[in-house]
Structure 1
């Protein structure tokens, strides 16, 4: 695969699938060859929209398509374990949307399956592949603001979302945390790793999903992270990283920034801006390029989005849900089989 185009299959036909495919078709070394949906009509309409050769009315046909190098799984996260697992079982490489799965147990199962098959697997955490976010991490890791003391990040949508919406549906893993909170939590993980302790509070809906959640994460180093997510209020969607010798502020859209400002003690603020050559700030092409780079290099996972990091984020999300009392129907069934949310490694 060193020189030829990477052939993609798209599993699901919703808004994020369309956004990702639109970016893929603009990449000269990517080719979208197949799409699948549980509805044949939906798959055919999507294929016609993007000029895709094959449209399947069930997931299995895409998973078995030997002409597909990698499948992008864009279902709701409640179906990620089933969809990604089906593709991995068939020998396909997989890029799976976030939140990666419902819980850490499911994430560990997918990771074990990929490693057992020797297949590539990556969470579609596009923030980690964003050039400006990567630059920010380089600065922090290089000591530009000294030792990290505090991370703050929030992501909230104003709504209102009716009870029938997927964000309010427990069967689809609804709530603010897995859909939006995964970004602030992942941002904190990017800079500090897995926390040693977690405190969390939430307001829950009548359906039993979180309408908004706030969590305080802490590390043995003394560092703290304040993270918040909401589907009942539009937040600044901003982030900041405070260190012993300075601070970095990221304005609106911290997970796809167009700029950030470095403040260092005794110096003028320094602004870092996105390179216009990298494309629109909401482009998903960076994660696609990273997948294709890794496939051509024969890598089974990406160093930018490592699987152990994805699993650690899922453990943190599990721990937060333990504290706020959110469980999903699929997990209740899992408990009947002796399975839980997954191992929670943090204290209350």
Structure 2
């Protein structure tokens, strides 16, 4: 595919994140939101009216069968990611699937195998990796200008209105703080420090059997630690504090989305701003189109191996806290 080719996108799922992604897709060069699919045709049509989408489907399979679609963004609840991704890949549709990629390592491994089998692009939509402020932090760490990381603190908590049927609290939909927002502090630790040598975790469970709060401690060589926390019942600062040998980096709230950073060195602090006029999802969408234009079936940034390591870490934490999905 040529780099200047127009890419027709389809979106599966019509929830909040799908709306934000659709807004940002309008800002992506050579991207055209052609279709939306929902199990409820009314939702699909309402979504279509909002974003002037030509093709609105009342089932996912109808959307997948649309021959004009090049890339499908999967924005369904966690528990459906595996099934939806497999359907798309078997139809040889490129896939950008929301995080978490799937519920466990076994599912993610099969998704990747099928992408390779069908020679079709697949990427986990961990958008933070592509945001300007986070790319800047990674460059600073890699440059070693502030020395090596000594420890990391990261949290993500929000107070959600209790609804046992909602995606957040319904265990049958993969609910809980770990998979929904705990993935971000874990991603930060993984991208900054790598896979830990030891994992400690404990959680508070609610009436529906999901983890409402999860506290995690990851340990590395040389007494380096990452202290992480996630919650769907408690609002937290949602920031990341990276302490290094020669200074400190603070990724301000909310660290996983477009934000600012403060770097302190020799007692002097400097604020860095990264003006972003969108929700921030356009960066990953641009990257997906670039990868497909190059003929890649995986991202050069959010690689298959990184998704495997992330879900392995999620699985390990779930084992520690005793959270199991059927």
Relative to the length of structure 2, the TM-score reads: 0.96
Q: 1:267, CA displacement in angstroms?
A: 5.6
CA RMSD of aligned residues (A): 1.3
| Alpha-carbon distance between aligned partners in 2 of 1:267 and 1:124, rounded to the nearest angstrom | 37
SS at match of 2:268: coil
Structure 1: give runs of 5+ residues left out of the alignment.
330-348
- 5+ residue gaps, structure 2, are none
TM-aligned CA deviation for residue 283 of structure 1: 2.2
Q: Which moved more, 1:94-103 or 1:163-172?
A: 163-172
SS in 2 for 1:217: strand
Counterpart-to-counterpart distance in 2, 1:186 and 1:138: 16
> 2:298 matched to which residue of 1?
301
**Whole-Å separation in 2 of the counterparts to 1:249 and 1:219:** 21
Distance 2:220 2:101 in 1: 23
The answer as to whether partners of 1:33 and 1:52 remain within 8 angstroms in 2 is: yes
**Partner of residue 339, structure 1:** none
Asked if structure 2 preserves the Cα contact closer than 8 Å seen for 1:36 and 1:56, the reply is yes
Match of residue 248 from structure 1: 249
Tell me what 2:154 maps to: 153
Cα gap change, 1:267 to 1:205, in 2 (>3 Å)? closer
1:96-245 matches, cutoff 5 A = 96-245=97-246
How far does residue 202 in structure 1 lie from its aligned partner after superposition?
0.5
Moved more, 98-107 or 67-76: 98-107
Q: Residue 287 in 1 paired to residue 284 in 2?
A: yes
* Structure 1 pair 294–221 and aligned structure 2 pair: CA distance change class (3 A): farther
- Cα offset, 1:22, TM superposition: 1.2
| Mapped partners of 1:206, 1:258: distance in 2 | 34
- The 1-side partners of 2:290 and 2:325 are apart by 36
Query: Which residues in structure 2 correspond to 1:68-87 (within 5 Å)?
Result: 68-87=69-88
Supply the distance in 2 between the matched residues of 1:220 and 1:66 (Cα, whole angstroms): 51
CA distance in 1: counterparts of 2:320 and 2:74, whole angstroms: 29
Match in the other structure for 2:271: 271
C-alpha distance in 1 between matches for 2:304 and 2:277: 27
Q: Write out per-residue CA displacement over residues 183-207 of structure 1, whole angstroms, 9 at most, x where no aligned residue.
A: 1101111111222210001000122
Mapped to 2, the partners of 1:203 and 1:268 lie a distance apart of 39
Aligned residues: 325
| Cα distance per residue 1:244-279 (max 9 Å; x no partner) | 221101121111243111122x362232210x3x42
Aligned partner of 2:323 among 314, 321, 326 = 326
Q: Is the 8 A contact 1:145 1:242 kept in 2?
A: no
**Counterpart contact for 1:251–1:257, Cα < 8 Å:** no
Deviation at 1:237, TM superposition (A): 0.4
Shift of 1:219: 2.1
Q: 1:215 to 1:290 in 2, by over 3 A?
A: same
For the pair 1:65 / 2:63, whether they are aligned, the reply is: no
- Of 158-167 and 294-303, deviating more is 158-167
The Cα offsets for residues 138-194 of structure 1, whole Å up to 9 and x where unpaired, read as 001111221112111100011232222221111001110000101110111111122
Deviates more, 1:216-225 or 1:105-114: 216-225
CA distance in 2, matches of 1:115, 1:159: 38
What is the correspondence of 1:333-344 to structure 2 with a 5 Å cutoff? none
User: Does the 8 Å CA contact 1:202/1:210 hold for their aligned counterparts?
Assistant: yes
Q: SS at the partner of 2:283?
A: helix
Tell me if the contact between 2:132 and 2:258 (Cα under 8 Å) persists in the aligned partners: no
- Corresponding residue for 2:28? 27
